[in-house]
Amino acid sequence: MIVQALIDQGVDTVFGYPGGAVLPIYDEIFQQNAIRHILVRHEQGAVHAAEGYARSTGKPGVVLVTSGPGATNAVTGLTDALMDSIPIIVLTGQVPTFMIGSDAFQEADTVGITRPCTKHNWLVKETDALSGVIHEAFHVATQGRPGPVLVDIPKDVQFATGTYHAPKPSVSHYQPKLKGDMEEITELVAAIEKAKRPIFYTGGGVINSGPAASQLLRELVKVTGFPITSTLMGLGCYPASGENWLGMLGMHGLYQANMAMHDCDLMINIGARFDDRITGRIDAFSPKSIKAHIDIDPSSINKVIKTDIPIVGDVGHVLEDILKVWKSRGRKTNSEALAKWWAQIEEWKTVDCLKFTQKGKTIKPQHALVRLEELTKKHDRYICTEVGQHQMWAAQYLGFEDPNRWMTSGGLGTMGYGFPASIGVQMAHPDALVINVAGEASWLMNMQEMGTAVQYRLPVKQFILNNERLGMVRQWQELLHGERYSHSWSDALPDFVKLAEAFGAKGILCADPDDLDDAIMEMITHDGPVIFDCLVEKHENCFPMIPSGKAHNEMLLGEAETQGVIDSKGSVLV
């Protein structure tokens, strides 16, 4: 029945790990061919793989794990998906209903534990209700602001026979509002017509709204001529090669993007949530602007930053209406002021905040990414990352032309996300080039998934920028803690080439900038999983950087500016 419900929901791939409490479901999976099951090596890997699958396809990812430790191991992935609004359906086994509460073997209060880290969850105690709950779970996970859901299914409920209900047009009371309020939209259009220094500030909501939303955004940017920046989660909704692109904003965002956010007079937030990595010091955040905020989740509005024009609705629907209203009112913008604004932006761009010098025999991590970009940008390419400096460099130096091509852990910042995510992406796109830009420390957190990659012959490329440090931790210790590098390096790293070989995969070591291009080409052309161990400069810091407790126009651009920049008030912030 469960497998039938998944098939009827259009599921083709399930990531999972069997155990006592889900054996009846695994028995069903064994006896069918419609759904592929991918055996991961750890339940956290299953959830991240499902996230990678979901982010790169726009479809929900499905996970199947057992009770107790199976469920608790999934918690990090669930929280990650909740923070980044990724639709995931996790099915967990549970001890039989008559044993619940008896501290049975591998029993855990799964719905209790996962309540704060799912959008919604269910414990199904009657077999007749099972199919309905699974259909409802897909509805809740994908409608409104997407998110992870969990269905906990006791083993006796799995064994019993019951009535199957096919999915039907939703009877659920959960029906989020999609259309924005026309009055607010008209007010925003009026602001667009008058704005002297406007900026689009876009986020993951554009990508979650679907490819059509990205198309509408591109049209809106083109016809208005406004500059556009994006959060980490929104990269790809507007092409990096686009004329109006300023680059990513935020703590490690580009100079021109942050300066434009600070000085703008109209900020149009589309599907972003004023995260603290974006705003920096709140009372100094874009002090002169009218702020419009388009979000499908009413609780995002006014949560952090007071909004002048709030629009609750789906990004795609709202953008369509904005375009319609703006065109019907005569397609006006304040072009004279806009030209001045662009001149100012061009001046900021000349700061060239991402410049670096590759010299000597040590590879700069930025250089490695520039070469990776150059050699892979023409491919059908998907990029995943782990969390840390490499993640920020990847966001800065790689170009994203389309949505759903960039998988990274934004809100939760989960080290160990990227490798399993790349497995999920490769499952969904078997012929694409899937690269996980990693740091060696993050990568080791879920390295067991090498077994999965090799077993399913997934040619995922693990591009490890190896500085033998927890680079971002080290950077903060340098800036904030008097260069006392407490536990931010590893003394016993594996030989990654041998590690790859131990799993039956290919390992490549590159330490010389002159060898880099050939090594990257070797990685791309190898038909199978590759661990690319790129030894990079150990003490490189990630710039630009808005230090904690500072405003957008107080960015650090390089090493020379780092002494004593964070005061005691800022140092308590993360």
Partner 1 sequence: MSPLKIKKGSTSHSAYNLRPTFSDVVERHTLAVLVENEPGVLARVIGLFSGRGYNIDSLTVAEVDHTGHLSRITIVTSGTPQVIEQIKAQLGRIVSVHDVHDLTVEGASVERELAMFKVVGQGDKRVEALRLADIFRASVVDSTLESFVFEITGAPDKIDAFADLMRPLGLTDVARTGVAALSRGE
Rounded CA gap, 283 and 74, in Å?
37
| Cβ proximity to partner 1, 145 vs 371, nearer residue | 145
Distance of closest approach, residue 409 Cβ to partner 1, in angstroms = 21
Annotation marks residue 43 as catalytic: yes
| Cβ proximity to partner 1, 232 vs 311, nearer residue | 311
Distance of closest approach, residue 172 Cβ to partner 1, in angstroms = 9
Distance of closest approach, residue 81 Cβ to partner 1, in angstroms = 15
Residue type, 469: R
For residues 228, 216, 58 and 450, what is the CA-based torsion angle, rounded to 10 degrees?
A: -30
Annotation marks residue 28 as catalytic: no
Q: Which helix (H) or strand (E) holds 53?
A: helix 43-57
Task: Answer whether 406's CB lies under 8 Å from 383's CB.
Answer: yes
The dihedral sign for the CA sequence 269, 323, 311, 150: negative
Catalytic residue among 9, 94, 136, 155: 155
Site of interaction with partner 1 (CB under 8 A): 111-112, 115-116, 119-120, 123, 140, 145, 173-177, 297-299, 301-303, 306-307, 310, 312
Residue 456 DSSP symbol: T
| Cβ proximity to partner 1, 145 vs 367, nearer residue | 145
Task: Answer whether 1's CB lies under 8 Å from 50's CB.
Answer: no
109 phi and psi angles, rounded to 5 deg: -75, 80
| Cβ proximity to partner 1, 263 vs 314, nearer residue | 314
Rounded CA gap, 175 and 166, in Å?
20
Annotation marks residue 472 as catalytic: yes
Distance of closest approach, residue 572 Cβ to partner 1, in angstroms = 17
Cβ-in-10-Å burial (0-12, 13-18, 19+) of 564 comes to: exposed
Distance of closest approach, residue 190 Cβ to partner 1, in angstroms = 16
Task: Answer whether 533's CB lies under 8 Å from 516's CB.
Answer: no
Catalytic residue among 32, 105, 288, 346: 105
Distance of closest approach, residue 109 Cβ to partner 1, in angstroms = 10
Catalytic residue among 1, 267, 472, 555: 472
Annotation marks residue 155 as catalytic: yes
| Cβ proximity to partner 1, 134 vs 534, nearer residue | 134
Catalytic residue among 4, 106, 215, 344: 106
111 phi and psi angles, rounded to 5 deg: -65, -30
| Cβ proximity to partner 1, 115 vs 324, nearer residue | 115
Task: Find the DSSP H helices in 239-330.
Answer: 255-263, 276-279, 315-328
Catalytic residue among 1, 9, 15, 43: 43
Rounded CA gap, 463 and 480, in Å?
29
Q: End-to-end distance of the chain based on CA atoms, in angstroms? A: 46
Catalytic residues: 43, 105-106, 155, 472
